[in-house]
Structure 1
Amino acid sequence: MTASPYSPDSGKPERAFLDANVIRGQQTTDVLLSLADHDVFEPRWTQQVIDEMRRNRPPGVSEKSIDRRIARMNGAFEKAMRSAPPQELQDQMRADPKDKHVLAGAVHSQSQVLVTDNLKDFNPPTTGSNAMRVESLNQFLIRKLDEEPQRVQEGLRDMLDRNRREPKTMSALIDVMAEGQELRGFAQKLNTVVPAEQRGTSPVLVATQRGSAQYAAFEGVAEPGTPAAPAAAPEARKSGGSKGAEKAKDTEQDK
C-alpha cells in the first residue's frame, strides 16, 4: 500500500525513513532526532539500516558507545523501528543493489520521504505502489525549516540547552554546521531565518549561487509528482517536548 503524499497543513508529522548515512554521526543524529522530538517529522528505520549505521560509525566511536546510542534512539522513538521489507519487494526496487533494502524499507513502512545522502543510488518511480520521494539530508532539513520555521528552531534550541559541550548557542551551531560538509546547506538557510543576533559569522555562510541553501534545497530531488508549495507551520499538533531527544542524545559526549 502506497503512503499518501505528505501535506504540511495535514496536522500530522511527515513519516521519514532515515538511511544509515544520515544517522551515523553525532551532530546529524542529534539535529534530526531533536526535530523529531518536536513533531517536525516521525522517524523510521529498520534493523538492517541500524546495523549498517553501526558498522560505519565514525572513527573513534566505540562499539559500546554506538550501541548505547542505538538503544536510546529505539527507546525514545518506539515506533521508528519497522519490520524488514520482504525480499520480493526489495527485488522490485529501482536502486543500487546494495541499497534496495533501504528503498524497500521506506516503501514497506509507508514512509512519505526517504532521507539519504546517496541520491545517485536511488531512482524510484514517480507514481504507483513503489513511488517514493527521495531527499538529501540538507534538502529535507531545509524543506522542514520552510514548512515549520518555529518548530524547527524550538527543536534546535532545546538541543543546545542539553549540550554539555559546544556548540551551546544558535550562532555557534550555525557556524559549526556551515564549516562542516554534512549540514552546510541547512546552516546557510537557517542563518537567513534566525534573528540577527543569533546568526553565525563563518565566511562559509557567504554562499555562492551553487552552494546556496536555495539551490541545495531542490537539486537532485526525486519525488512522486510535483510538490505543493510549503504552507504555513501547522498549529494542530501540540508542541513537542525534549524527553525523546534527550534520551536519544548521542552518548559520545559521555566519554
Structure 2
Amino acid sequence: MSSHFTVVYDACVLYPAPLRDLLMHLALSDLYRARWSDTIHDEWTRNVLASRPDLTAEQLNRTRQLMNSHVRDSLVTGFEYLIPSIQLPDADDRHVVAAAIHSGASLIVTFNLKDFPPEALKPYNLVAQHPDDFIVDLLDLFPAGVLEAVAHHRRSLKNPPKTADEYLDTLQAQGLTQSVAVMRQWTVAM
C-alpha cells in the first residue's frame, strides 16, 4: 500500500534515536510519505553531536545516508526560494515549512508546536502535530500496519534487545504517552 499523504519530520523528532528509529520504521510501512531536507538533517545531527560527544559526525552521516536511501523520495530539495515569503515566530524554522510546501505535505511532525502556529500554516494547508498525536492517529487509521512496523522496530533492537514492555517504556520516555497507552493493549503483537 502506498499513500499520497505526506508529512515532513522536523529536526526535533529526529534528534532522539528511539523516536527517529520508530519514525523510520513507520515511514517504511508506506502508510504515508515521510519527507525531510538536508537542512533538517543538519539541524538534528548538529544538536546530537553537541550533546553526545561519544558519537562522531561520520556515524551520524551514515545514519543520514541510510535514512535517505531507505525511505523512498524522502529528501526534499529546491524549496529554498520559498523561505523568504514564510512568516513564523522563529525565522529559523521557515525552512521546515518551505520543505513541506514544496513536497506537497499536509503535516509537520514536531514537538515545537508553538513555533508553527495554526494561523501561520493555514495559508499553506499545513498543520503541525506532536509525534504522539501523529502516531495515535496512525494507530486509529492503520492499526495493523503500525503494529507491524512497531514489532519490526522492536525486534531490530539488539544492543540491548527489549521486551515489548521495555520497548514501550522507552517510547513513553520519548513523550509518546497516548501511543503507548494504545499499544499496551497489543503487546502480544509486538
TM-score by length of 1: 0.66
Contact 1:167/1:176 (<8 A) preserved: no
CA displacement at 1:109 relative to structure 2: 1.1
Aligned: 1:22 with 2:13: yes
CA displacement at 1:13 relative to structure 2: 4.8
- Distance across 1 between alignment mates of 2:55 and 2:73: 26
- The one-character-per-residue Cα deviations of 1:2-27 (angstroms, maximum 9, x if unpaired) are xxxxxxxx962521101111112210
164-173 or 31-40: bigger deviation:
164-173
CA displacement at 1:140 relative to structure 2: 0.8
Match of 1:106 in 2: 100
CA displacement at 1:40 relative to structure 2: 2.2
Long gaps (5+) in structure 1: 1-9, 200-255
Match of 1:168 in 2: 162
Name which of 130, 135, 142 aligns with 1:136. Answer: 130
Instruction: Indicate the structure whose relative CO is greater, using CA pairs within 8 Å and at least 6 residues apart.
Output: 1
Long gaps (5+) in structure 2: none
- Distance across 2 between alignment mates of 1:174 and 1:127: 34
* Equivalent residues in 2 for 1:1-255, closer than 5 Å: 12-57=3-48, 58-59=51-52, 60-87=54-81, 89-95=82-88, 96-125=90-119, 127-128=122-123, 130-178=124-172, 180-191=173-184, 193-194=185-186
- The one-character-per-residue Cα deviations of 1:124-158 (angstroms, maximum 9, x if unpaired) are 44654x22011011111111111111100000111
Code of the aligned partner of 1:174:
L
CA displacement at 1:50 relative to structure 2: 0.8
Distance 1:50 1:84, change over 3 A: farther
Query: Secondary structure in 1 aligned to 2:162?
Result: coil
- Distance across 2 between alignment mates of 1:102 and 1:11: 23
- Distance across 2 between alignment mates of 1:99 and 1:161: 35
Code of the aligned partner of 1:194:
W
CA displacement at 1:182 relative to structure 2: 3.2
Query: Secondary structure in 2 aligned to 1:134?
Result: strand
- Distance across 1 between alignment mates of 2:71 and 2:106: 17
Over the aligned positions, Cα root-mean-square deviation in angstroms equals 2.2
Contact 1:28/1:182 (<8 A) preserved: no
Code of the aligned partner of 1:66:
L
TM-score by length of 2: 0.87
Give the share of equivalent positions with the same residue, in percent.
25
Code of the aligned partner of 1:70:
R
- Distance across 1 between alignment mates of 2:78 and 2:130: 23
